[in-house]
Amino acid sequence: MFFNSLHYAIFLPLVVAFYFLLPPRRRWVFLLAASYYFYMCWKMEYIVLILVSTLVDYVAGLRMGQAKDQAHKRKYLVLSLVSNLGILFAFKYFNFFNESARAAFAHFDITYNIPFFDVLLPVGISFYTFQTLSYTIEVYRGNQEPEKHLGIFALYVAFFPQLVAGPIERSTNLLPQFYKEQKFTYDNTTNGLKLIIWGLFKKVVIADRIGVMVATIFNNPQQYSGVEYILGASLFAYQVYCDFSGYSDIAIGTAQIFGIKLMTNFRRPFHAISLSELWQRWHISLSTWFRDYLYIPLGGSRKGTWRTYFNVFFIFFVSGLWHGAAWTYVIWGSVHGVFLALELATLKARKRFFHRINFTEKNFLYRAIGLLYTMTIFNFALLIFRALSVKDAFYMTRHLFDGVPQMVGRLLTGDFLVVREMLRGLGLSQKELVVVLIAIAVLEGAQMLQIRGSLRAQLALQRQPVRWAVYYALVASIVFFGAFNMSQQFIYFQF
């Protein structure tokens, strides 16, 4: 069941209505049933995996609570880690490592007979696995009391708005909210709906439309040149941002209707002036998860300079692997790891130098250069991320600047028809392209306003006709310009 489907448009109001009609003590049952139904709409059998994760971590949490010492606690933590990561490995990574091993053995002419498993990747497995692991780790650390109520714990694991693509919630934030008696309020409902509408706008007006052009380029890279690769990577940045943040908005907005507050997952990442800043603004729930459960346990920045660089690189290497069982994702993560380590390594020197010449963040040019640098590296890494294979990624990288000087030359002579020629073959009509450009302009405008503070709060200060005009414009753009016939699966579902 996709958030941008008719099925969800019928499912959500029914669930909300029944939820608030039920007595508060029974609500968790209904919400849990609705969450399982939501998940089973993809593939019924995979509910078993969520049930196994839920039971293992519920028991592990209780046992850790009863354990006399850290050693006993550790046993149950290991049980949780092994079973959750084991399931993740089996369904997501086994075939990948198997194929890589086969290729390596074949290179040395050695026979390799381990078979592949023909399994479909369970939707959201990376997300809910990390969510349950955060619970058991926090119980182990003593920051979280073991949850005694199996039903509430099951709801924490399977809460449908954030089950399949996050935000990856911390138990300390989410669990207590299921115990509060939530009331149906006008504010929660309208604020939640506004966020859902905004998320849908990003997804169906921008992301799905751009996805057509991106797919055209990346599915046949040999038919295009560097100009299209650069355009494709830049468009893909917008596609993945609008797709993923759109999904997060819908998830957060949906939860808000129930009175549940989920964490912010994106904070204007394209306004970052360094990669380290970008990762504080992009997929925040995942980057903080890696920080708290991998980076810090590895020593963080406390074990010396080179160990710090290694830790940073390793986190992003693993992050690449988390995103998908393919070497393109690993390379993508590694590129980020390398540049982040470089940023760290040069941070003090850069600060000293720029301070000496009075060239700081307050300076517009400083921020513009920072923005350009960040988006260049981010988009380049995305080129690799989006490529269908490592071979394609290397091909596009090698030919990244093919045709660029010629294009620039023609533009400088005023030959703008060359742009129309290029865009023509990318799968969207002129009208569609205009819709995309206007929608992106609206998005960027909204993000500029967000610098001043919450968009909702700023809108609330406006008169009603202005507010309603904005809402109508958004809904109308979804209704009339939603690319429902070009619908792409939410990108992060495949992770």
Secondary structure class of 164 (helix, strand, coil): coil
Interface with other proteins includes 480 (CB under 8 A)?
yes
User: Which residues from 449-468 bind other proteins, rule CB under 8 A?
Assistant: 468
Residue of 417, 451, 457, 461 that binds other proteins (CB under 8 A): 417
Closest approach of Cβ 421 to other proteins, in Å? 5
User: Which residues from 1-30 bind other proteins, rule CB under 8 A?
Assistant: 6
- Listing DSSP states for 274-294 in one string gives SHHHHHHHSSHHHHHHHIIII
Interface with other proteins includes 484 (CB under 8 A)?
yes
CB 389 within 8 A of CB 328: yes
CB 101 within 8 A of CB 112: yes
Residue of 148, 180, 420, 456 that binds other proteins (CB under 8 A): 420
Instruction: Decide if 336 is catalytic.
Output: no
Interface with other proteins includes 220 (CB under 8 A)?
yes
Span of 43-51, 175-183, 384-392, 484-492 interacting with other proteins by CB under 8 A: 484-492
Q: How many CA atoms lie within 13 A of 341 on its CB side?
A: 20
Span of 17-25, 27-35, 160-168, 480-488 interacting with other proteins by CB under 8 A: 480-488
Closest approach of Cβ 256 to other proteins, in Å? 18
Among 323, 336, 355, 399, which one carries the catalytic annotation? 323
The distance from CA 245 to its chain's CA centroid, rounded to whole angstroms, is 7
Query: Of 13 and 445, which has the nearer Cβ to other proteins?
Result: 13
Helix 171-179 / helix 125-141 crossing angle, nearest 10 deg: 90
Site size toward other proteins (CB under 8 A) is 24
CA dihedral 33, 37, 40, 41 (to 10 degrees): -170
Inter-CA distances, 115 with 86, 88, 91, 98, 387, Å: 18, 18, 14, 8, 26
Closest approach of Cβ 5 to other proteins, in Å? 11
CB 226 within 8 A of CB 379: no
Binding mask 180-219 for other proteins (x = CB under 8 A): ------------------------------------x---
The identity of residue 278, as a single letter, is L
Interface with other proteins includes 482 (CB under 8 A)?
yes
For 145, which DSSP code?
A: P
Interface with other proteins includes 425 (CB under 8 A)?
yes
Residue of 345, 422, 440, 442 that binds other proteins (CB under 8 A): 422
For 25, which DSSP code?
A: G
The identity of residue 142, as a single letter, is G
100 Cβ contact partners less than 8 Å away, ≥ 6 residues apart: 327
- Listing DSSP states for 10-22 in one string gives HHHHHHHHHHHHS
Span of 27-35, 55-63, 264-272, 422-430 interacting with other proteins by CB under 8 A: 422-430
Interface with other proteins includes 481 (CB under 8 A)?
yes
Closest approach of Cβ 47 to other proteins, in Å? 29
Interface with other proteins includes 391 (CB under 8 A)?
no
Report the C-alpha gap between 443 and 304 in whole angstroms.
42
Residue of 429, 454, 462, 494 that binds other proteins (CB under 8 A): 429
Catalytic site positions: 323
Residues that bind other proteins (CB under 8 A): 6, 216, 220, 223, 417-418, 420-422, 424-425, 427, 429, 468, 471-472, 475, 479-482, 484-486
